[in-house]
């Protein structure tokens, strides 16, 4: 696979305003509810007190899991992103106090890990298990976000001191090792982008190259079974795997390493074609929170950790910027609307760790977890969501995601352009993009045509553009822009039934999609019916209905299906097959809701893959 010639560069989250609409509502809840709620939770869990105990401000022993520092860092990162787009004095004060607690816990040589300090463990003595470099990575990401949001260097100075110690400790001719939980790799490249210190990039590459040599445990669980460029399939702990892919993609971008690119493409294809749920969720096994074998995608036992969905977004965002290929944006969008967003309740106060595609009434979101990696991960993605919408290249401006938003982009020192999106996407496929420039300027506007799109209409200043519309591609609009121009993209959003590849988990079942959304059937909408007995036909007509008072305003799908009458099976687990003995079917009006919104009402069964009639 040849290396791309023209990389994309993401428009910063600071330069994108998500004003209203689908994502605007969720970003606002994240800002107004989630950040304060999560701060209370990390205080209650003792995560913050661990820093105070380490510095001597408070007595007592270490509390919680050995990686609890990372939850504090992720919260600081989320809060920093929010401060970069919305001024909030109270939030800023919380962040400042927390940074002071973090800084006071740092040791003289720069080392910072409250578990190892309080438990008097030897530094860097258990990289395969104890997450020292994982926590360090989240410190780095928080520090970079805080600096970019505020211009302050207090947390960045803390992180840089620790990173300098890491670079001094590890590398050629030094300590040979690799972390059991990946994260440091991508974080070091973020710091490299900011500080341009080559040793940061070199150390990230070093940790990737040391995989497969037994330093991280030597097993598939930690992606240490083979050197990275020799790995044939994506395997092991799902979060670790996609964090590794993200770090490798970052290093690949900086070094133009063709072997890394070939490997990334090979492992991406394996995941998307054989190991990813229809929701974009990944990691099918509870055991090891891991990828299973090819096509091993059970519904009720789907682990599909929320953190893994977030890592999937990270990886696809990076691959998109390496290649400009819309297939990565398609996956990014699928995960955002489904496998990621299901991880948080509509009110922002409850969370899923696992996101199954079939569940009984007992699987509900929790207000917090002893291992609370997912909630602050959700918060930091929502706070930085604007950074996933737009990119620039030498050719022009790229639009990856559609939603009410505004961005001001500097193409070069003399050319500035403002884009305003107006749309009710994903409920509607009508998207208006106002392109404003102070003076005449020529560039190409690249519009993403989603992979599910069957047809589309594009108008520029009211005039239809001729040409073929290709699903899963970017449509280039090259012209001279002046004043305020309008691009109108109209995409019919079809209701479709999905089927699965033979030999996977859902033969003779159908899933329902509409545009980027996967739908599910929930017991709340079908009183007196066991939703596991519902039957769908490919000929079933499902009609979209906008429900303003339901689940925070969603489009539901309604239509006539049928339900099995299983009364003849009473008291039987098996019986001889008789061709003439057919299961009775009764007509049934069904309602399908977006998958992300399930488990926000009364407890009950849910399923995505419905038996085919």
Say how far apart CA 341 and CA 336 lie, in whole Å.
6
Query: Which pair of tokens denotes residue 401?
Result: 């995601």
Whether 566 shows a pLDDT value over 80: the answer reads yes
Q: How far apart are CA 227 and CA 210, in angstroms?
A: 7
| Residue 137, both tokens | 């990575």
Q: Which of 182, 185, 289, 404 is catalytic?
A: 289
* pLDDT score, position 19: 85
First to last CA, the chain: 44
Mean pLDDT of 488-494: 96
What pLDDT does residue 353 have? 97
The total of other beta-carbon atoms located within 10 Å of residue 549's CB is 6
Among 554, 401, 396, CA closest to 489: 401
Write out the two tokens for 561. 């299906």
Q: Write out the H or E segment, with its range, that includes residue 558.
A: strand 554-565
Q: Which positions ≥6 away from 506 have C-beta within 8 Å?
A: 297, 299, 499, 500, 609
How distant is the alpha carbon of residue 51 from its chain centre?
A: 29
CA torsion 516-186-13-347 (nearest 10°) is 60
Structure tokens at 229: 């460029």
The ranges assigned to domains in the chain are 9-388, 392-490, 495-612
Length of the chain in residues, anyone?
613
Predicted confidence at residue 550, as pLDDT, reads: 87
Residue 478 dihedral angles phi and psi, to the nearest 5°: -100, 120
Q: Which CATH number fits domain 392-490: 3.30.1050, 2.60.420, 3.40.50, 3.30.70?
A: 2.60.420
| pTM recorded for the entire structure | 0.97
- Per-residue pLDDT at 504: 83
Is 289 tagged catalytic? yes
Lowest mean pLDDT among 148-162, 325-339, 392-406, 539-553: 539-553
Residue 3 has pLDDT above 50, yes or no: no
- Pick from 225, 360, 343: which is nearest to 291 by CA? 225
- List all residues 6 or more positions away from 257 whose beta carbon is below 8 Å from its beta carbon: 251
Task: Say how far apart CA 283 and CA 74 lie, in whole Å.
Answer: 22
47, 252, 373, 520: which one is catalytic?
A: 373
Task: Give CA–CA dist 391/69, Å, rounded.
Answer: 33
Q: What is the pLDDT of residue 438?
A: 86
The CB-side HSE value for 64 (13 A sphere, CA atoms) comes to 23
Q: Is the per-residue pLDDT at 1 higher than 70?
A: no
Assign 258 a pLDDT band (cuts: 50, 70, 90): very high
| Helix (H/G/I), strand (E/B), else coil: 105 | coil
Q: Which two tokens stand for residue 472?
A: 């899963």
Quick check: 6 pLDDT over 60? no
Burial 498-516 (b: 16+ CB within 10 A, else e): eebeeeebbeebbbbbbbb
Predicted confidence at residue 4, as pLDDT, reads 44
Q: Angle at CA 32, nearest 5°, toward 28 and 36?
A: 140
Average per-residue pLDDT for the chain: 95
Q: How confident is the model at residue 5 (pLDDT cuts 50, 70, 90)?
A: very low
- Alpha-carbon span 254 to 85, nearest angstrom: 28
Locate 331 and state its tokens.
Answer: 């996956």
Phi and psi torsions of 205, nearest 5°: -65, -40
- Among 310-314, 513-517, 547-551, name the one with the lowest average pLDDT: 547-551
**275/271 Cα distance (integer angstroms):** 5
Lowest-confidence segment of 273-282, 547-556, 571-580 by average pLDDT: 571-580
pLDDT of residue 548: 84
The pLDDT tens digits of the residues spanning 88-102 come to 999 999 999 999 999
Do 70 and 134 touch, CB atoms closer than 8 A? yes
Question: Is 570 exposed, middle or buried (CB count within 10 Å of its CB: 0-12, 13-18, 19+)?
Answer: exposed
The whole-number average pLDDT for the span 450-469 is 92
* Whether 373 is catalytic: yes
Q: Determine if residue 340 is left, alpha or beta; phi over 0 gives left, psi from -120 to 50 gives alpha, anything else beta.
A: alpha
pLDDT tier at 549 (50, 70, 90 boundaries)?
Answer: confident
Average the pLDDT over 449-457 and give the result: 95
What whole-number distance in Å separates Cα of residue 579 and Cα of residue 576? 10
Residue 227's nearest CA partner among 242, 247, 257, 207 is 207
> How high is the pLDDT of residue 442?
95
Long-range contacts, 565-570 (Cβ 8 Å, 24+): 566/533
pLDDT of 502 reads 87
User: Is 295:501 a contact under the CB 8 Å cutoff?
Assistant: yes
pLDDT tens digits, one per residue of 406-419: 999 999 878 899 99
Domain at 9-388: CATH code: 1.50.10
Handedness of CA 76, 208, 202, 164 (dihedral sign): positive
- Which tokens hold the place of 295? 């096509």
545 C-beta neighbours (distance < 10 Å), count: 12
Q: What are the residues whose beta carbons fall under 8 Å from the beta carbon of 412, sequence distance 6 or more?
A: none
pLDDT of residue 581: 58
pLDDT tens by residue, 365-398: 999 999 999 999 999 999 999 999 999 999 999 9
Residue 580 has pLDDT above 80, yes or no: no
pLDDT tens by residue, 45-91? 999 999 999 999 999 999 999 999 999 999 999 999 999 999 999 99
């Amino acid at each position: 696979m040849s290396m791309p010639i023209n990389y994309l560069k993401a428009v910063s989250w600071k330069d994108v305003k998500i004003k209203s609409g689908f994502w605007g509502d969720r970003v606002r809840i994240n800002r107004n509810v989630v950040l304060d709620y999560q701060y209370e939770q990390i205080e209650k869990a003792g995560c913050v007190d661990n820093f105070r105990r380490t510095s001597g401000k408070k007595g007592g022993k270490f509390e919680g899991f050995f990686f609890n520092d990372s939850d504090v860092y992720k919260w600081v990162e989320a809060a920093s992103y929010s401060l970069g787009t919305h001024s909030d004095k109270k939030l800023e004060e919380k962040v400042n106090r927390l940074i002071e607690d973090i800084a006071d816990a740092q040791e003289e040589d720069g080392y910072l890990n409250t578990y190892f300090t309080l438990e008097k463990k030897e530094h860097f003595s258990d990289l395969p298990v104890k997450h020292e470099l994982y926590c360090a990575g989240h410190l780095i990401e928080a520090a970079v976000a805080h600096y970019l949001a505020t211009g302050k260097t207090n947390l960045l100075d803390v992180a840089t001191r620790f990173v300098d110690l890491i670079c001094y400790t590890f590398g050629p001719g030094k300590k040979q090792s690799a972390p059991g939980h990946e994260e440091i790799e991508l974080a070091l490249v973020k710091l490299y982008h900011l500080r341009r210190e080559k040793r940061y990039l070199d150390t990230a590459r070093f940790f990737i190259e040391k995989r497969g040599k037994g330093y991280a445990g030597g097993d598939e669980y930690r992606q240490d079974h083979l050197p990275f460029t020799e790995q044939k399939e994506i395997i092991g702990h799902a979060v670790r795997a996609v964090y590794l892919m993200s770090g490798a993609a970052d290093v690949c971008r900086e070094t133009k390493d063709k072997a890394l690119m070939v490997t990334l493409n090979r492992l991406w294809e394996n995941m998307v074609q054989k190991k990813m749920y229809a929701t974009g969720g990944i990691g099918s096994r509870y055991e090891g929170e891991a990828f299973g074998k090819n096509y091993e995608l059970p519904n009720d036992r789907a682990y599909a950790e929320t953190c893994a969905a977030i890592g999937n977004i990270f990886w696809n965002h990076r691959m998109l910027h390496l290649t400009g290929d819309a297939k990565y944006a398609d996956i990014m969008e699928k995960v955002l609307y489904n496998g990621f967003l299901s991880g948080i309740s509509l009110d922002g106060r409850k969370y899923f760790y696992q996101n199954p595609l079939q569940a009984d009434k007992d699987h509900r979101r929790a207000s917090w977890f002893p291992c609370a990696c997912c909630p602050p991960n959700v918060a930091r993605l929502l706070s930085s969501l604007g950074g996933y919408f737009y990119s620039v290249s030498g050719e022009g401006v790229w639009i990856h995601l559609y939603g009410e938003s505004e961005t001001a982009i500097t193409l070069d020192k003399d050319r500035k352009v403002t884009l305003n999106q107006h749309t009710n996407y994903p409920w509607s496929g009508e998207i208006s993009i106002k392109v404003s420039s102070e003076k005449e300027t020529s560039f190409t506007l690249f519009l993403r045509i989603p992979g599910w799109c069957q047809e589309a209409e594009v108008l520029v200043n009211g005039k239809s553009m001729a040409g073929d519309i290709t699903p899963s591609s970017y449509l280039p609009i090259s012209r001279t822009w002046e004043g305020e121009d309008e691009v109108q993209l109209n995409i019919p959003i079809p209701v479709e039934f999905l089927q699965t590849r033979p030999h996977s988990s859902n033969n003779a079942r159908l899933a329902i999609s509409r545009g980027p959304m996967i739908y599910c059937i929930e017991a709340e909408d079908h009183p007196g019916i066991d939703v596991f007995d519902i039957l769908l036909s490919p000929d079933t007509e499902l009609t979209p209905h906008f429900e303003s008072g339901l689940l925070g305003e969603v489009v539901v799908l309604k239509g006539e299906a049928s339900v099995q009458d299983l009364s003849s099976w009473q008291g039987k687990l098996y019986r001889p097959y008789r061709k003439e003995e057919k299961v009775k079917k009764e007509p049934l009006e069904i309602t399908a809701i977006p998958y992300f919104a399930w488990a926000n009402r009364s407890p009950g069964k849910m399923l995505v893959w419905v038996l085919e009639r």
